Structure 1
Amino acid sequence: MSDNGSRGRRAARPQGRTTERTSRPVSPVEASATATASLRETGPQRFQQRGVPEARRSLPQALAAGFALALLVIGVPVALLILGGPPPIPTSLPGRDDLTATIGPEQLVGVLLWIVWLAWLQFTICVLTELRSAVRGVGLPSRVPLSGPTQRFARALVASVLVATAAVGQAAAAAPAAAPEAPPTTTISAEAYDGQADVTVQQEAPPAAAPAASEEVEYRLGDMVLDPEEGAELVGQKVYIVQPPDGRYHDNLWDIAERTLGDGRRYQEIFELNRGREQPDGHELSLARLIYPNWLLIVPADAAGVDVVTAETPVAETPPAPPATPPLTPDQPGGQEGIGEAGAGLFADFVATGEAEAVNTNPHAGLIDAGLLAAGLLASLELIRRRRRTPEPGDDEVEAEVALRIGADPDRARWLDYALRHLAASCQEAGRPLPPVYTAVVESASVELLLAPARVDAPEPWTVLDEGRRWIVARSDIAVDPELRGRVLAPYPGLVSLGRSGDRDVLVDLEAAGGPICIDGDPEATFEVVTALAVELATNQWSDHLRVTADGLPETLGVFDPGRLRLVDGVEPLLPELAARRADRLGADVLTGRVRPGGAGHWMPEYLVLGTPPTGELAEQLVALTDAAGRSPLGVICAGDVPGARWRIHVDAAGTLELPALGLSVRANQLSWRSIEALVGLVDPDRSNDPDPAGPNFNEAWLPEIRPEVPQVRTLVTEAELATAPVRVYILGPVVVQARTEIEAERRALATEIVVHLALNREGVHPTVLAAAVWPRGVTAAVRESTFARVREWLGFDRAGSPYLLTTEDGRLKLSENVVLDWDVVCALLSQARQVRRPSEEADLLRRALRVARGPVLSERPQGRYAWIARARVERSASDLLVDAAHRLSVITRDGGDPATAAAAARAGLRVRPAEQLLWRDLILAQHAVDGRGGVMAVEGEMSETLTGIGGIELAPETAALLEELVPSNGGRHRDLA
């Protein structure tokens, strides 16, 4: 647990549990009362100190304190009224005679009466404040202004009375007459229907101890257990526990923001997240300067060193009864026999654990939690960047890319694709049809398929479970075949992920619906889910030749893959075409067609995705078009209710998605308008935030007056200094950090990322900001500090004993000037090349810079790391500068009669941006000077293969014209090479 919670409160967990997961001091009286040993208090009383009352606090002392309270609160006003009457109250404003009159005994008595009455009122208010605090269990009572000594005296009297009362109660509880009772025995039976677990509790003990179903969830903040009400409110949030005073220091919002967010000025964000929310002591945050110890403060999602509130479901000691779900009939929604049988039992866990998922307040949080969806979007983004130069992103676009890289799981997407194609190849070799899959559950180490109807003839290495309703395969059981993807077409192109349950991605095969699919619920969430489905279908790896036609969705979505996703204004004109396709498939089996030699490509599906519900005649036409007794390669997904829909998906405002026909409940994949706009802004030139829109674009001539600007470096460093530096950081190519000492292999990736982040921010980074970058999903303060200490030890110390990882006076982490970054060396060389006048000197500097650059920025990086690199804005800058340097060197050396160096310069630039046809033209000219026509033909073939592999990029007019000039084709074949 983080330090902020080590002194925090511990709330109760539900009754009826047999083990204590957290500990607290237990008094001898409580230890003897075994009837209550398994129970803990709930609510605010968790702040009160438990224990046996001290012996010296006797009943006479409590009676004396109670008598003193009664005397002061009741006796004093009674005595004042009897002896002096009510205090004199003026009936008019004082005149001149009153102000100049002699002060006599009557006036003095009147003033003294007012002083006593006011003192009594102040004391009474203090007593009431202390009583309220003690009864409600408040950890720190409210302060009464100008009443310090008086309030302390009132607190002492109230405490004496209440402690003695508690002692009497505990003594009665410990009396021998109160024989301990055996703890109640609970038996649980579960029946699942459509995925919903129905829990029946039978008690052999008094029913008062029976736990409610809702109490079975235990909410935790680190190792602290929260009460169910508060836990349900805070689950998924990062929560900071306000610390008690330490001497004269009191915790405050500014310091909390400084420690967790790296910037004290962000205290206002914490204030806004908690304003008006009731705290454990019953108070609410109304003034930013007024917080109390043990308050639970929600902090922004990028806070570091703060725990997340999670929900845990206790595991039953006895195995649950097998699901007893009757099979669905064709008359029921869903339509296919057996769908939901396996899912009911399996997804009951998903329903139970759904509340435990983290809720992120980041504006692009939907991308952070969408592993497979984010993987497809990231692949499309990188493909576009390989094809052409993309615009300079704005701040929101950068944050969207960071969220995308945090959430993307390309390794799992590749694993799912490979597992499905391997299954299709195995079925084809065995002459069997593909299994009728309707749901897939994907983890990093396994893929599980749910079937309806059941099949038991699974090929090796698949394992049959639940009488053929489930097939599962482990990743370690499948041998890697690099040529499998090119040899086997996708068997289940209609699989799309609905969301996640825990760390598992849950997908459904839309073909299995056999009819329209409608999504309803919260309007905004519904639209975001429909958009996410359309985008994933158009960008995932496991679908071949699939086409998605979208109506009513953002038209900018077409920028990702216009070949698979077309956007239309109305679907009515497309219905005849789709009806003809349906007639061709009528009576045939989709899955059999896909494994039939030569016929697989004809059975790829097409989906209509509608952002608004169809009405009237259009709705009837769509139902008739997609209605099928079995699987269909044509389908309709729409937002809103559609009469006759086979699957009805419901999503609420919190993002919980339910598909009752399959017994499924997950955290939904969502794609918001803001995220769409930001992602499109990363690749669409029309939405560029580039301050220099006239800068060089793809395939344009790079004129000297518009060459990219070289970033300024703090100090000019050379290749020699890079080679001899005690710590060397390489980011141009595969990322490498070289130090004089070694670090454990399993810690190297994280330590390297920390050093790279600091190397790109030489002015220093606050530890909490650095932690938020390298641990985007959160980390405890203890882990953070131990990791930074380990990195400091790895980098080592100079001869004077100073570490290469420094801590500045304001608490920032920064690297020593003796740590050298290869990017700084390249910038220094390129800056000098811009200043020299002789071409030979410029060529030498450019050659040295390109020799240092081994490739694009972070060309090889561990999955899930360096999501923050977009904020550094170094990838695009480095790419532009290195392409410019390569082009410039190629031109200078070619004009100087050195075509071999010109060709080497062009190839160095192509390592950074392989689709840059400016460099391909440089290479063509250089090879023509070396080998003539043969050299040009060789480069032409190499270029065609490269551009085709990247994504079928067409030749630029300049490139085609150059090829036609050097190697005339008499037919213009160069225009169609790629």
Structure 2
Amino acid sequence: MSNGAGRVPEHRPRTAAAHRIPQTLLYALSAVLAACLVALGTARSAEAAPPGDDLIKVFVVQDPAQTGGQLATLQSIATATLGDAARAGEIFELNRGQTQRDGAALNSPGDQLHPGWILRLPQDASGPGVQLARDTGGGNGASAPQAVVTGDAQSTMLTIPLAAAAALLSAILLALITVGIVGRRKVRAAAGAVGRGVRALGAPARRRRQLAQRQATSRRFDADGLSVQRAYGALGEFAAMDREPERPVHALSIDDSGVTVWLSASDSADASWASIDGTRWRRPATAPGLQGQGGDAGVTSRSVLTTACLVRAGTDAEDRPVFVDLSRLDGVLSVSGDRTVARDVVQNLLAEIARTRPNTPVTVLRGAADAPPLAVPPNLAQMPQAATSSVARPFPAHGTVRAAASRRPVRGLVVVSGTPGTREAAELAALCSVGWTGLVCGEVQEAHWRWYTDGDGHVDIPVLDLQLTVPA
């Protein structure tokens, strides 16, 4: 017993000392990392200093193949970089008579711009198309500026000196060794932290790439009308016909390889369709009737035009556009999460309706005080804000269960920017109770469909078990 009792006090001091050593190393490591961060901050401050006098803002005219077939004009450049097409004259005066790379020059405001031309911009220009270039023409020289040095006039280039990079690498290696002394679990935690740090450093570039892809999707939607016609044709095959009731199609996707439809779990498609899971059915492009033209399919497709309202909500993981039927909303769609992406969702739905159902009535209600108003496309008929004193009937408490949705033609739209207050919620409920459809950038408890967005430009549609990339 005495020997056992004697071993206990000897064992405990050794354990405490063993823990004090890694803690000391961790403190030293923290000091090293702090010094590296200070050095990097100093380097970044030096690199982030304002550009020299020979750097100016420019716009590089893109080839039409990169812009969906549209060649830039002075007016479109002024709109994109200055926010005002009327300022095109300022851009013309800055570039009048300057020789471009191909030997041509801009001599008249109506001259066609050539791909590859580098045009000077006023100093207050901004946006993704604005770049920095060295002014080789000496301010008012006869040649255009050359040597574009950045892709975005709003971005800052970061250059890490070799010594600072070596110090940072040494600190990271020391961190891994030190944490290895403490234990494997801490090594994994450190590796995870390093991975998160690397991902954080790459996040801005990744976000820019995602935004560019989403903008390209928006341009593609603007130019594509064929897929909308094909979608209505496919939808017509599931409409009520003879003694067969309608099989509700809640969403569908069409591309060159075939068509996919989302049905209720209790419904099924005919033999030309193959079941993917409990609700999704797909038919290849080689199967008959895909276009929905001719025969009964063509007739029924015309019959659903007055009730169905197909809009492309975004693209799936295979970059295929996915249509949802807004007539299945049964009242209100609530889009929450990242506020910027939520606004993109609603703006895209408005643009889709403006293309396929022009002159649809729209009334806009202001929700949260800090939410900027949504822009109503000119093709839609914006109505004055509704003045309602009572609600005709309450919203149905359907939740997000797909089978509970009933078809309601889209007679008009109530658009709410931000979560509605008490008065706006009453006006929204009153209008939706008499057949209007609500699109809300924010939370509405009575909404039948709820979509959730994230900062990466995605929207989750739980009722369809689907995640889409949102056009920007």
With normalisation by structure 1, the TM-score equals 0.24
TM-score (normalizing by structure 2): 0.47
The answer to which structure has the higher helix fraction is 1
